[in-house]
Structure 1
Amino acid sequence: MQTVTLIGYLATVCSMSSFTPQAWKIIRTRETSGISAPTYAITVLGFALWLAFGIMKAEWPIIITNGVCLLLSAFILTMTVLPQAEKEAVAKAFNPDD
């Protein structure tokens, strides 16, 4: 495997794993008061644009990274703007033991 490809896939793992703890914390605590919805809206838009770019260039590391990060950041944004009752229902669907 070429070094540049390896770096791309390592960047993918780092980027994707950076959003997972925040998403899981929201599921566990149902708390999003410290999260800026406008910031996450810009982040979601950025990932959507990067995903479109990756698709147009047929670059799998860019597609995979930004596709997964788009899903995770969109989830975080959605949970941030949902009313508490709906947030509880979504979190319960992901973590029924809580």
Structure 2
Amino acid sequence: MVNDNILGIIAGILTSLAMLPQLLKVLKEKNVDDLSPLMLITLILGLSLWVWYGVFKRELPIIYSNAFAVLVNLSLLSCYFLYRKSG
């Protein structure tokens, strides 16, 4: 039987790392044509609410995994504005 804390930690790690390959690709290619800023903003807001929820519940895996994901997605959003083509 799987411990629910271990399951939560593994889920948090995997979902936190999900956007990291996209960030690395954007940083390497400096191409953000396929990124949706609205999707990133929505995702950042949702992840931020998960962090807040984790604080209320005092669940460090929820706080840490979602805070990391917020940082990755904020980085992607920053890259969008830095590398987008004008006009």
> What CA distance in whole angstroms lies between the structure 1 residues aligned with 2:54 and 2:36?
27
Which consecutive residues of structure 2, in runs of 5 or more, have no partner in the other structure? Answer: none
Q: What is the percent sequence identity of the aligned residues? A: 24
Q: Give the aligned partner of residue 31 of structure 1.
A: 31
CA shift for structure 1 position 79: 0.9
User: How far, CA to CA, are the matches of 2:30 and 2:83 in structure 1?
Assistant: 11
Aligned to 2:61: 61
Residue segments in structure 1 that go unaligned for 5+ positions in a row: 85-98
Q: Residue in 1 aligned with 2:74?
A: 74
* Map of 1:89 onto structure 2: none
Superposed CA offset, 1:1-55 (max 9, x none): x610010110011112211101111110011110000010000111111111111
Code of the aligned partner of 2:35: I
Within 5 Å, which residues of 2 pair with 1:85-96?
A: none
CA distance in structure 1 between the partners assigned to 2:46 and 2:80 by the alignment: 18
TM-score, normalization by structure 1? 0.79
Tell me the distance in 1 between the aligned counterparts of 2:61 and 2:74.
Answer: 20
Q: What's the TM-score once normalised by structure 2's chain length?
A: 0.88
CA RMSD of aligned residues (A): 1.7
CA deviation map 1:52-97 (0-9, x unaligned): 111111101110110000000111111112255xxxxxxxxxxxxx
**Is the contact between residue 32 and residue 83 of structure 2 (CA under 8 Å) also seen in structure 1?**
no
Change in CA separation of 1:83 and 1:13 when aligned onto 2, cut-off 3 Å: closer
Q: Which runs of 4+ in 1 moved over 6 A?
A: none
